[in-house]
Amino acid sequence: MTEKLYLESLDAGYYQHFNATVTSVEDNQVTLDRTLFYPLGGGQHWDTGALTGPNGELNVTEVRGRNAVHHTVGQNHQLEPGDEVRGSIDWETRYAHMRMHTAQHLVSGIVYEQFNGARTVGNQIHANGSRIDFNPIAFDETMLSTLVESVNQRVDEGLLVTDSVMTREEINAIMPPDRTNMDLLPISVKELRIVQIGDRLDMCPCAGTHVTNLEEIGHINILGKKSKGKGTQRIKYDLVGSPQLRQPYTKVL
């Protein structure tokens, strides 16, 4: 089991450096006792960066795993269990994912609110562009224009983004289960990390990394739409404008 430092709070996503101990090694995959690196999951791409250990700096090119988190490095890493390392997240990529993922929550919340409860049924978060799949819906240009205007208005309001821990029963008493995609979560998971925008403009379970204020996103720009069949449409988007960008914390966790 790897302690996931980025899950401690939304604020933890702003840290860049951490210390850890190697717990296991298999070929070029290194597992640590604790990590700030986000592994592939929930539609969000993995973090990149570096691990610095007894034999120098190693580039981290891929991160995967749900319980134990595996960091892919070069073949000649020479790391062994028990080695102490310092991890460093590539801040530009991490922060882009934070902004993109929070934008996805905002768009999903507004689509559900404005367009007859259309659900988010899939998403992919990347640094340079992302996508969301909705069902049931058929966007036209007027709907997309209205969506962009509504999203960017909320960004300009500077709504806060917060997180908390709730049980299934607690979140279901507040938000419709079809909005929170509760049916996609394993029934064994009893307590959920909930990410909320403003006064419940959006509120759903999520283990991803997020900004703490919508001002950091910038404005959304819809790149296009595409039918995915059976009432499902995909929209692609990127972020533009001059957002209130932040720098990572300098403290080492």
pTM exceeding 0.85: yes
**What are the phi and psi torsion angles at 128 (to 5°)?**
-105, 0
| pLDDT tens-digit map of 16-25 | 999 999 999 9
Q: Is the pLDDT of residue 184 over 80?
A: no
- Other beta carbons within 10 Å of 178: 11
pLDDT at residue 186, as a whole number: 75
Please state which architecture CATH assigns to domain 98-240. Answer: 2-Layer Sandwich (3.30)
pLDDT higher at 243 or 182: 243
> What is the residue extent of each domain of the chain?
3-89, 98-240
Q: What is the pLDDT of residue 189?
A: 78
CATH number at 3-89: 2.40.30.130
